Each structure stands twice: as structure tokens, then as C-alpha cells.
Structure 1
């Protein structure tokens, strides 16, 4: 055994320990959101903080900086090992780039700003948030600067890389400019087409929570969720979390409307399938993790948007919905449910937006946060710039800041560089689903029977089982034959909203 092999094996052992701490933190975070009694909050915060510090100390240990180049010199490493080493180096670089005092200053700024945001949003008062958000932005610029120096990339890309490894804003600019030029006219056409269709009828409730849960579980099983390695629970904000071989998703229920919760369950199931399908041989290694946020979002959107809002799926699901709630009449017919689940409407709120208008919300945020990080606009000008872009792209102007630039917690919470992954994920989902259906002609008929095995099998082979072995662009090109292509997403939108 050579010294180089020893260096690599030592790194694998170190990162396996870090992964197991991540598992503990993931389960604790789930419990905090779902099960923890209010009185345990302080003790839980101490526990998670201690585990987080231990994890960070392990990741920034000086000896890792010596082991990484030693292992890199080993020519005997295979493709998976070399990719694993690259992921180790990327995580180590991000962790060591930011000095401890800046980490602490950013954490304090974010904590203050999140509290201020809650009041500012409630009162629709951006001016009251401006001082604390200015401090957060200043810290994010500092973080961007030190990371950019280490990574050799522009400021915004240094933040983007934490969420989308290898992501570059010059490529996003080109893709989003193409999409932004397409969307306003397309939305006009979609609304006109929709106006010529029969009016949508909403099924009338109430819809008992237990009936909603039972329906959700049945559809999760049809999609392929493994309940021996996962759970469905309730939380204030739906999410997918937990740990390896214990993937936990949550939803929230509205007894007056089952439709939103059901699609939320299917969305989180898409995330969960990715987690349950990651390569078992690399379970505790960085290369075994999911390949960035745009690919993760694509997996949730393949299940929710591409498959579960299709005519095939709703023809299968409509009788199950009727049986679950004792429904009858035109509102419960598959055609009406399809029109309900593909309804287009201009609106102010991103999280309530439909598939056709959602990208405009994301492009707006991406352009604004990039300009703010790079110093091309002043934070005080944000409300005006936000409203102007909303008017240009969506044809609506927010009447107040609560419906405008105060609606998301991402910026007060320090998540700068995250927003573009939402629409990159939607575009990736369309491209992957298109390739899967071309590769296997039984995928859409299978969905119409409630059989997702052909689709999930293709995703297991081409996405889930590849972990982080390849960069996002290479993974997508291997799976679909091309890098990210806006034309595939635009074709999907035209087919669904103009031709159906």
C-alpha cells in the first residue's frame, strides 16, 4: 500500500464521519420541524449547534489540506474515487475560504435580519428592513469576495457554486435572456387559449385530513416511494429531509382544498426518490450525494409537473380522488382536473405561481440579486426595480412591498445565489422527461396506469445512481444528449398550454 493510497483512504474515513454527523443533523432538523415540543427548543438548538461545530472543525482540519494533494497524485484512483476526491476538495475549499469571524458576523446579521423581515413583511415596510438587510448584503459580498479569490470566479458565481457546483452566471444569463424574451408573449397566448376552454370547476370540500393523507400515501406508493426507508408527516412548510435510508417528507393540509397538498406531496416525493436512489456503494462519501440544487429540483418537478400534471396521470388519479372524498359530478372528471392543475394566472407571489409564470418570478430575483452582489444597484432601489421588472415580465405591479420584494425569506436568511436553481431545475426536468419518454415509449402509458417503474428506472440509471460523479452539465448531456437547452422547456410549455 502506497502513501498516496493511505492519504485517499484517510480522507474517505474522515468524510464518512462527517456524513454520519450530517445524518444526525438531518434527523434532528426533521424532528425540530415535526415532532419537537416547544419547550425543547433551547436544548435542541444547543445540541445542533454543537454537532454543527464538530462537523465544521472536521471539515476545516489543517491536515485535510495536506491529504488532498497527496491523494490527488495517486494515479491508481478509479473514476468514482477521483470524482469523490474532487468533491472533497470543493467542500474543503468552500469551508476554509471564509474566516471564522466572518462566519460569525454573517450568522449574527442573518439572525437579526430574519426577525426584522417577519415584522417588515407583516407591515409591508421595506424601509424598516433596509438597515439589517444592508448588513446581510455586506457580509454576503465579503463572503463572495473571499470565495471568489479561492475559486477563481466572479463574485456572484462564488455564491452560486454553493448551491449549483460549477454553475456560472454567464451561461445562466444567456439561458434566462432567451426565456425572458419568450415568456411575456407566451403567457398572453396561454391565457387566451385558456379563455376559450370550458370554465374550471373546483371540487367542493370539506376534505378530511386523514382522507387526504391516505390518498397521498397511495400515490406515493404508485410513484415508488419506499416506506421501509421513509415517512410522510405534517409540518408548517413542506420539505424533504432526514438521513441516509431514512428519507422523511412533510406536507400541510387544507380541508377546503386537497389539490395543493396532493401536488406538494408528489413534489416532495420526487426529491425523496432522488435521495432513496443515490448510489449505495458511496453512501457516506461526497460523490454519493445529489448533484446540486438544480438537479434536485428537477427530480421533484419531473414527478410533480411533468408526470403528475399530465393528462395520463390525471386520468389514472381522477377515480382515486373521487373515491377518496366521495366526489361526483363534472368537477371530478379527469379533463376538468387537468384544466385545474394546468391553470395559468398572473400573480404577485412566487410560491403560488403556476408552471408558466413561475420562471418570470425567478428570473427577476436572479437579476436583482446578481446586480446587488456585484454592486450594480443600490439596495434602497430594490422595491422600485422589483416592481418595474414585475410589470415588464408579468404585466402586474405589486401594490405594496409585502406582495413585492418582501415576500421571500431567502435574502434576509442569507441564501444569495440560490434563486436561479428553481428555474434551472424546471428546464432540466423538461429535458430529462423528454429524453426518458423518447428512450422508453412505455413511460407515458405506464403513468396512465399508475405504473411509474419505467420512468423511475430510467431516472435511477441516468440521474439518481450517478450521485455527484459528473458535473451537472456532463450529467445532463450524458442523460439527454445535449447540455441545458431552453428550447425543450419552451416546447413543453407550448404543448401543454397552447395545444391541449
Structure 2
């Protein structure tokens, strides 16, 4: 009976999640400017209803009394309990304090980042860091985890610094030597075949048609999803109605196309989740690292490969016109989409330098949570690591240094590792898939993605949240997360 009560509750929570997700996606794409105040009020009330139902005290009794009859029910109950502990371990008074502080911090960040005014922003950030330390202790007490692990567990259940520290240390050592090698190889390559300029303008409607064709080709189900425009691309909505967005520039089309393919990776995961368990935590995606691995699998492993562009270049000509990129062949496109350079901004970084941006943040936020680094010391610590890892200094440029991300102003500590974990998991999945399907590359060159998607459906999508992040990686690929796959991928792509 208790299991049935939890099942009924899951359906009510799913309905509220559905409403919140669709309202949020609509706000970012179609809502009229004047609708903001009432939309915020509606979403706030729905969020309050969700929180009240999800944290009701009687749920603890239902969990304790539930008697699962199948393995799926046992796993579903364990995941539900983990989510319940996560939702109830913070007192309401603390949640209110943190929400107010992070909202104010984010507002200040938006105002002050453009000016690079670190000194005016610092007091607000210090307040957020103090609250994050408090939250880490509360979560640690409830879960038995170390404080930073307890924060990270919200985003990637099962990840622990004891496992990630050596993985990231190994990757960092490799990349510090590899970046100069990749840049030298690129320089030699470009000496023989210089980068070509794009031949814009590219009408937005034609770019949209190209994006839709690419989505369709790689497996997006348009009976359960759509594409719109937003200021920042995202994949939202719900698995039965995925709301994907992109943005367009008329002077070039590759950034929009790559953004579409990245978000399609997220969307395919959502569309492939186990439908029978959609109203339980078990039926949800397994954390941000796995989600990012699915988007990066499509964007990086697939869409920046020569095989993909053998298939996609005719698609570009079909939708943008035969003279869209005159004289370009596959090698010219790869020169563009795989261009490597040292830069300040994480979100603009290529796949070679991007992990160093993430590892820098991972190391700093561990120190901030532990109290061995204070917010006031961030600019110097940030600059020291940027100089060591990427050979560029940010000491007099907080706007493009420690003020560039919204995560810390918003209190999202423990999130950054997911980005690079996603890239590594994607490379490991690709290597496993290539062994399992010897015709993989030739299939992709023909535009046949059925084998790729069937493997991911069987090993990742259909598994939902049955396993922790580390266990899911091991089950899918046959071994724990291993940096060798990502390193081999980078060598093959950037030193060849």
C-alpha cells in the first residue's frame, strides 16, 4: 500500500514538473514581455506546491513501510529516498536565506560583470560562499558524505572527489603538454590549407531548415519535440514534449548548427528515457555528467568528425545553397569546427582547452568550500592557474576571469565537474561503440545513425537513474571512467 502511495505521489509531482518545465520554456521563447510578473507568480506558486508535496513528513513513513516486489521497484524506492533526503535536509529558513542571497548576487553579477567591477561584487559573493559552506555541512550531515562531495552529489550522484581528483590531475598533466602540441600541429596544417572565410549572409529561415534536417537525421522525434529561438540555447520541456532552442547569426551558420546538434544530444536522451517510470526519480536522467556526455557525444564525437561532414556537407548545400561555402570541402569544415586557441572564456573554448577551464574551477571551489580559500583571494588564485594551465593572465580582467560564469553567483557549487566528465564519458562511449560496431564510421558517412542510437538507447537512455553515475559508466563501457579514451580521441583528432 505504501508503494502505491509513493506511486500516486510520483504522478502528482510529475504533473507539476510538467507544468513548470513547459512554462519555463515558454517564458524563454514565446512569452510577451508584459507577461513576466504573472508568469513569475504562477511558477512560484507551482514550485511551492511541488516542494510542499515532495517534502511532506508522511513520505518518510511511506518509504520505510514500502515493500518493493521487483528489482525495478527496489531501485526506484532507493532513488526516491535519496531524492527525499536531498529535498528535506535543508531547513526552510535556510532555503529562503539562500534564495534571497543568490537572487541578489545574480542581479549584481549581471549589472557589474560588464564593468568588471569585482570590488563592488565581492561582498555579495562572500555572502553566497558563506551560505554554500553552511549548505555543504547540512548536506554532509544528512548524507554522511564529505561536504564538497555532498554538493557534487546533487548534480552527479555517486561522484566523489577521491575518485575524480586523480582523474582530473592526470588529464591536467596531459593537457598542459598537449595544448602546445595541438597548436603546433594546427599551425603546420593551416600552412598547407589556410582557414577559409565563410560566405554570408545566411538567411535565418534557411539555417533553421538546415538545423531541422540535421536534427531529423540524427534521430530527433518531432512528434515529441520542437525547435525555437532563445537568447541562450537550451533543451527543456519534458520527455514527451522536448523544447529545444538555438540562436542565429547571419554572418555564419556553424555556431547555430553546432548548438542545435549539442542540444539534440540532450533531447535524444530525454526522449529515450524509460516511459513506464517517468513519474519516478528512476525514470529521470542520471545527472548532469551523463546528460552532458549525450550532448557532447553528438556535438563532439559525431558532428566534428570527417565522417559526419561527408554526410552533412551536401545537406548544407541543399538548404543554404550551392554557393553557401564555395570551394569548401570536408577538410575546410574540419579546420573551422576543430580550431584550437588559448582563450579566456570557458563557454567559447574548444574541446582541447575546455577541460583546463573546468579543472581550474573545480580546484578553486573545493578550496572555497573547505575554507582554505576566501572569496577575496579568487582573482589571484584564478590568475595563477590560468597562467600555469593556459599561459594567459586574467589578473587585471575580472570580467573575463572569475566574473564570467553565473554558477558561483547563483550558488551552484559542485556543478562544474559535470562538463568535463561529460566529454570524457562521451569519448569512452564512442570507443566502446566503435569496438561493438566495426561499420560505425562508414554508417555515419552515409547518414545512418541507427546503430549509434540503438547502442545509446540500450546502454544509457533506457537505464534512467537505475545506477549511480560511476556505475552507469562501468555498465555501459565495461570499465570505470578512464582518461585514456579522451586523450586518445584528442591525439587522433588534433595531431593527425
The TM tier, using the shorter chain, reads over 0.9
Structure 1 segment 158-237 matched on structure 2, within 5 A: 158-197=150-189, 198-237=193-232
Residue 476 of structure 1 corresponds to 473
Residue 250 of structure 1 corresponds to 245
- The answer (yes or no) to whether the contact 2:233–2:246 under 8 Å persists in 1 is yes
Deviation at 1:440, TM superposition (A): 1.1
CA distance in structure 2 between the aligned counterparts of 1:329 and 1:148, rounded to whole angstroms:
55
Cα RMSD after superposing both structures: 1.1
CA distance in structure 1 between the aligned counterparts of 2:427 and 2:480, rounded to whole angstroms:
13
Are 1:298 and 2:256 counterparts? no
Distance verdict in 2 for CA 1:43–1:307, change over 3 Å: same
- The answer (yes or no) to whether the contact 1:201–1:330 under 8 Å persists in 2 is no
CA distance in structure 1 between the aligned counterparts of 2:463 and 2:348, rounded to whole angstroms:
32
Structure 1 segment 368-407 matched on structure 2, within 5 A: 368-398=364-394, 399-407=396-404
Aligned length, in residue pairs: 491
What secondary structure, in the 3-state scheme, does the structure 2 residue paired with 1:80 have? helix
Residue 334 of structure 1 corresponds to 330
Superposed CA offset, 1:321-368 (max 9, x none): 133223266652111001111111110000000000000000001111
Deviates more, 1:314-323 or 1:269-278: 314-323
Residue 105 of structure 1 corresponds to 97
Structure 1 segment 111-190 matched on structure 2, within 5 A: 111-190=103-182
Runs of 5+ in structure 2 lacking a partner? none
Runs of 5+ in structure 1 lacking a partner? 1-5
Residue 339 of structure 2 corresponds to 343
Residue 85 of structure 2 corresponds to 93
Deviation at 1:442, TM superposition (A): 2.5
What secondary structure, in the 3-state scheme, does the structure 1 residue paired with 2:153 have? helix
Distance verdict in 2 for CA 1:8–1:430, change over 3 Å: same
TM-score where L is the length of structure 1: 0.97
- The answer (yes or no) to whether the contact 1:201–1:331 under 8 Å persists in 2 is no
Indicate which of 307, 317, 322 corresponds to 1:322: 317
CA distance in structure 2 between the aligned counterparts of 1:323 and 1:203, rounded to whole angstroms:
17
Superposed CA offset, 1:132-165 (max 9, x none): 1111111111111111001001111111111011
CA distance in structure 1 between the aligned counterparts of 2:403 and 2:111, rounded to whole angstroms:
10
Indicate which of 427, 434, 447 corresponds to 1:437: 434
TM-score where L is the length of structure 2: 0.97
Distance verdict in 2 for CA 1:188–1:453, change over 3 Å: same
CA distance in structure 2 between the aligned counterparts of 1:65 and 1:401, rounded to whole angstroms:
46
CA distance in structure 1 between the aligned counterparts of 2:327 and 2:292, rounded to whole angstroms:
31
Deviation at 1:86, TM superposition (A): 1.1
Distance verdict in 2 for CA 1:28–1:300, change over 3 Å: same
What secondary structure, in the 3-state scheme, does the structure 2 residue paired with 1:332 have? coil
4+ residue segments displaced more than 2 Å: 322-332
- The answer (yes or no) to whether the contact 1:330–1:336 under 8 Å persists in 2 is no
- The answer (yes or no) to whether the contact 1:23–1:242 under 8 Å persists in 2 is yes
Residue 3 of structure 1 corresponds to none
Deviation at 1:119, TM superposition (A): 2.0
Deviates more, 1:322-331 or 1:278-287: 322-331
Deviates more, 1:323-332 or 1:76-85: 323-332
Are 1:454 and 2:451 counterparts? yes
